[in-house]
Chains A and B, each alone.
Chain A
């Protein structure tokens, strides 16, 4: 029942957003309410799944197990944060405030498509759900309707839909192979039952096609070119969703297939995933060094992290699988925080070029420190959650004696660390030649000429310390803070604070239920 509620809720919210008369005003609160409810429901569902292993809503169509529940919670959590962030961010930055209800409607549909991915168990429906994640997010990517956003949306649509068409062929071949292997129901379980009896010559191509086709969507290297464009040009909350959970939701399908393919194909499954994974990590790590746009920086880092997860799955073994699942969690929470921070920087500076940002920590201590924390966290610095994930993967690999793989992976991770921090360090700490003040009228829409009458004229003092707890010391704030408060809306500040919690907490302490969920999910990848 609860699964149906999860599926219906976003669709209902989207419908409400598009009701002609009231939709315009109701869109934002309705979306906020539904995403909050979705988060609560998914956490409840995950708790149930931890208790009963597997929740069956409609046999052979809709079932949720631990791995699915994990993805579900991540989608709902990042979705909620992105919605909260949108409340303050979107009115500030959009070119046309009168069509924001389209944004929220589309936002809900996008959430729906991502929620659908982990709950359906039939690969054919899985393909459809993934296809819908593209179709329903294309217009969000191009929402700003300027040349860059539209170009990014076009590349995103065409490349990922091409990938999806290739994967469709793969899924049809998979169905055929399953029938040849004597399986009857086209579900994960049915495929696993056919197991080793599936003809390898068909299965091999099917696997390759799905890996390449969905790999395009995940951003694996030969087909990653759309990703930095789309993930940098979309509105920031959408970037967080795209990078944080959409890629992982698609990767979920690939990870699901690996144990199914393994009995018939043997080690090839792991080898290919290792090759694609390491290639992605390596190429992305070196591309990170040459970016000019800080949102692209985080987009490339997404490519890198997808590669890490796939590498971990390719290494194999319980420990590495746990690392992969943990990395999925870590990446989702950290990357969304990074994009929220980047959005804050964009609100303060108004430009996306790295070179245009100097001395951020003086100009806006909040944005600067958030960006620095985000960069450290995503690059894998010790106290944060990504470090734990990467460390457990490296450890698992070493304990299996995969020294070459681990050596390469570790080298690439160091390069990526260097690349990210090189740029962010310059942005945050470099001293501008002369004190720089943003000459835009406070709170003007980015790129828009008009002054904004709806903004509070000046922030009240008691709002002042509502920022994150790790705010910089007062003497730094004193000089920039009132201005900062005008530039970064309350909802964005709250989002930054909320998003920071799991990044820090999960890095030092994994609560028991979360650990249960993760280790069960890891066992599912292991087959």
Chain B
């Protein structure tokens, strides 16, 4: 029993840091910093999957944790470095769509909203883990989408996307642990392809347009009657 309450608190702690890392991705200007927060976030996702897989022992969740440790903190940064030139990684955002304190406050509102939205599900789930994982997963999903809208740089936008998927999986390890392992593997592969494709696209944009501030690309507008 004592062990279980420890596991519960460890999972909640992983959840807390997971949420904090998501906030970090909303708030950091540097591309590098954003990447680092993403790596940390994925590690906390893996930690949560690991804790959840311990009791009752579930090899499936442990495998999910292992996939996450290999895939996101190691392969994705490696792939990003391979496909995107170094110059893009050292960029930082000079102008934001929203200033950082304002976007953090909105992000907080989103997180609280996620908690309120998930209240009925948590009571439906009935397990103590679900109370942590469902709201935080949804919050990460929404905050990832928010990151996408407030960022202008290409790589942080991609990372926001990845954060959304992390959020979805953070919830799924608590509510749907029986999902086929095959599916998890293919999704991990799919994430890599997404990084590769967007990496290639970013490089092309960098080469042909000369900037990776994709948020301010606006050639294709209805108003600009050419």
Query: Which of A's residues lie within 8 Å of B, judged by CB?
Result: 122, 124-125, 128, 131-132, 135-136, 138-139, 142, 145-148, 150-155, 157-158, 161-162, 165-166, 168-169, 172-173, 175-176, 179-180, 186, 199, 201-202, 205, 228-229, 233, 287, 290-292, 353
Within 8 A of A (CB), among B148-186: 148, 154, 157, 161, 164-165, 167-168, 171-172, 175-176, 178-180, 183, 186
Using a CB-CB cutoff of 8 Å, which residues 39-80 of chain B contact chain A? Answer: none
Chain B residue contacts of A148, Cβ below 8 A: 219-220
Check A161 against B194 for contact (C-beta < 8 Å): yes
Q: State A151–B205 Cα separation when bound (angstroms).
A: 8
DSSP class of A's interface residues: helix, strand, loop or mixed? Answer: helix
Whether A146 and B201, one on each chain, are in contact in the complex, defined by CB atoms closer than 8 angstroms, is no
**Inter-chain contact A124/B180, CB cutoff 8 Å:** yes
Closest to A184 in B: B178
Could you tell me if B198 and A353 are in contact, using CB atoms closer than 8 angstroms?
Answer: no
Q: Which residues of B contact A (CB under 8 A)?
A: 117, 120-121, 124, 137-138, 141, 144-145, 148, 154, 157, 161, 164-165, 167-168, 171-172, 175-176, 178-180, 183, 186-187, 190, 193-194, 197-198, 200-201, 204-205, 208-209, 214, 217-220, 222, 225-226
Asked whether B121 lies within 8 Å of A132 as measured between CB atoms, the reply is: no
Question: Which of B120, B171, B178 lies in contact with A169, CB distance below 8 A?
Answer: B171
B201 pairs with A142, CB closer than 8 A: yes
Task: Sample 8 A-B pairs with CB under 8 A, ordered by A number.
Answer: A131-B194, A139-B197, A154-B217, A161-B194, A169-B137, A169-B167, A172-B179, A179-B178
**Are the C-beta atoms of A202 and B121 separated by less than 8 Å?**
yes
B165 in contact with A165 (CB, 8 Å) = yes
Q: How far is the CA of A292 from the CA of B124 in the complex (A)?
A: 52
**B200 and A139 contacting across the interface, CB-CB below 8 Å:** yes
Determine if A131 and B214 form an interchain contact, defined as CB atoms under 8 angstroms apart. Answer: no
A128 touches B141 (CB 8 A): no
Q: Which residues of A contact B178 (CB under 8 A)?
A: 179
Given A132-B190, A151-B219, A158-B161, A199 contacting B124 (CB threshold 8 A): yes
A153 to B220, CA, bound (A): 11
A100 to B121, CA, bound (A): 51
**What's the Cα separation between A400 and B154 when bound, in Å?**
50
Most buried by B among A151, A154, A228: A154
Chain B contacts for A122, CB-based, 8 A: 180, 183
Residue of B nearest to A167 (CB): B168
Asked whether, in the complex, the Cβ of A233 is within 8 Å of the Cβ of B220, the reply is: yes
Asked if residues A147 and B208 are in contact (CB atoms below 8 Å), the reply is yes
The answer to whether A150 and B208 touch across the interface, beta carbons within 8 angstroms, is: yes
- With A128-B183, A139-B197 given, name 10 new contacts (CB 8 A): A138-B198, A150-B204, A154-B201, A158-B148, A169-B138, A169-B141, A175-B179, A202-B124, A233-B220, A353-B226
**Within 8 Å CB of A162, what residues of B?**
145, 148, 161, 164
Contact A169 B168 (CB under 8 A): yes
- Contact check, A292 vs B201: say whether CB atoms are below 8 A apart: no
Contact B220–A229 (Cβ < 8 Å)? yes
Q: Is the CB of A150 within 8 A of B209?
A: yes
Check if A128 sits within 8 Å of B190, measured CB to CB: yes
The answer to whether B193 and A135 touch across the interface, beta carbons within 8 angstroms, is yes
Nearest Cβ in chain B — how far from A18, in angstroms?
15
- Which residue of chain B is the closest to A169 with respect to CB atoms? B168
From A142, A175, A287, A292, give the contact of B204 (CB < 8 A).
A142
Q: For residue A168, which residue of chain B has the nearest CB?
A: B168
Cα of A154 to Cα of B161 in the assembled complex, Å: 13
Closest A residue by C-beta to B117: A205
A157 contacts across to B, CB distance below 8 A: 197-198, 201
Tell me the bound Cα distance from A98 to B164 in angstroms. 38
Q: Which residues of B contact A155 (CB under 8 A)?
A: 220
Nearest chain B CB to A153's CB is how many angstroms away? 6
Q: With the chains together, A139 CA to B186 CA distance in Å?
A: 21
Closest to A175 in B: B176
Contact assessment for A151 and B124 in the assembled complex, using a CB-CB cutoff below 8 Å: no
Sorted nearest first, the 8 A-B pairs with minimum C-beta distance are A165-B164, A176-B175, A172-B172, A151-B217, A169-B168, A229-B220, A124-B183, A168-B168
